[in-house]
Amino acid sequence: MLNRLRWPVRLPIKWTIFALATVAVCFPNPALLVRHFRHWQDPEALIEPDTPTLQPLWEELRPQLHDDLPPGEVLELVERFVYKAIPYEWDWNTWGTADYLPTVAEAIRMGKEDCDGRAVVAASLLRRSGIEAQLVSDFAHVWVQTDHGEIMGPGGRKAIIATPDGPRFRLGALGELPRALAFGVAVFPWPREAILLAVMWLLMLRPGGGAARALSGLALLITALVCLRWGGRGFRQPILWLQWSGVACAIGGFCLMLPYSRRTGRRAALVERFVPDKKPAPDTRRE
């Protein structure tokens, strides 16, 4: 039915369908998605050194923080403590969503978190110990920055820095975005990525495109997904040739299906315009 519409109407509808499918697959809980965006609007507010929820962890950590301990050793101590107190776990397994930036209370309540939740807790403990700390991110990883060094696995170029005036973005770090997206594809549950791939493929299908081309396009898209997943698993050391192979397969899959469908549509229109309808010859036989 969509393919009967003119392309200025058809394409926005298809892109809207794919966008809604992406949100539904990656963020099944809309309320959690809204909270995630709100937290990123002011990540500085998530650092809560005086929240009562942090008190049990602080009481466990405080005896190890001697008054004459150098700041560098305090950083190392807090880092080791948070790694042990809050084991690492993907947000999908903890929250059922592709990504979520939690509060201190939420991270401690869940008892396990990925980089962003652990960084929030670590920054709050550092502030409690008297060391100023900030959250920073390179789009794929979140860690803690201080005047005495960085902890919680410092990543690449800082793209987002939390400040009291709101998050500050560095446009020069946009080069980190493709690597972050590749890493996200690599670690996200593959069955859900398969759903998005199937939706994309179905939206690209056009009448008259031919089963062979449609299946070949699907095979290329599947190959692209496999290459991107395997090539992006190592965020710090990605397998570039696999990632580029995935990009090439994805482009090949699109080109295999889309141009053919347009040519088919133009050919059908020309045939309908210039070839007259054949009418059956009159029966001249006598009774």
5 lies in some domain = no
**CATH for 143:** 3.10.620
13 lies in some domain = no
CA separation for the pair 171, 192 (Å, rounded): 31
Alpha carbons within 13 A on the beta-carbon side of 182: 27
Are 94 and 205 members of one domain?
A: no
Are 98 and 158 members of one domain?
A: yes
Residue ranges making up the domain that contains 236: 179-274
Are 130 and 154 members of one domain?
A: yes
Q: Which of 125, 141, 169 is the last residue of a domain?
A: 169
15 lies in some domain = no
Radius of gyration of the chain, Cα coordinates, nearest whole angstrom: 27
Residue 142, beta-bridge partner list: 137
pTM for the whole thing? 0.83
Structural domains of the chain, count: 2
The pLDDT assigned to 127 comes to: 97
The pLDDT assigned to 268 comes to: 46
The pLDDT assigned to 8 comes to: 80
Are 81 and 188 members of one domain?
A: no
Are 35 and 163 members of one domain?
A: yes
Are 144 and 53 members of one domain?
A: yes
First and final CA of the chain: distance in angstroms?
Answer: 48
The pLDDT assigned to 235 comes to: 72
14 lies in some domain = no
- Looking up tokens 């397969």 gives 249
Are 81 and 213 members of one domain?
A: no
216 lies in some domain = yes
Q: Which of 121, 151, 169 is the last residue of a domain?
A: 169
The set of long-range contacts for 215-220, using a CB threshold of 8 Å and a minimum separation of 24, is 216/256, 217/253, 217/254, 217/256, 217/257, 218/253, 219/253, 220/249, 220/250, 220/252, 220/253, 220/256
Q: Which of 236, 238, 218, 237 is nearest to 228 (CA)?
A: 238
Are 184 and 252 members of one domain?
A: yes
Are 146 and 191 members of one domain?
A: no
261 lies in some domain = yes
Are 164 and 32 members of one domain?
A: yes
The pLDDT assigned to 265 comes to: 47
The pLDDT assigned to 239 comes to: 87
CA separation for the pair 88, 34 (Å, rounded): 24
- Which residues are CB-contacts of 40 (< 8 A; sequence separation ≥ 6)? 101, 167
17 lies in some domain = no
Q: Which of 169, 198, 215 is the last residue of a domain?
A: 169
CA separation for the pair 119, 75 (Å, rounded): 12
11 lies in some domain = no
CA separation for the pair 178, 175 (Å, rounded): 7
pLDDT per residue of the chain (287 residues) written in tens, 0 to 9: 677 778 788 889 999 999 999 999 999 999 999 999 999 999 999 999 999 999 999 999 999 998 889 999 999 999 999 999 999 999 999 999 999 999 999 999 999 999 999 999 999 999 999 999 999 999 989 999 999 999 999 987 899 999 999 999 998 888 888 888 888 899 999 999 999 999 999 998 877 778 898 999 999 999 999 999 998 887 778 888 898 999 999 999 999 887 544 444 454 444 455 555 555 555 555 54
Are 76 and 147 members of one domain?
A: yes
Are 131 and 91 members of one domain?
A: yes
The pLDDT assigned to 287 comes to: 43
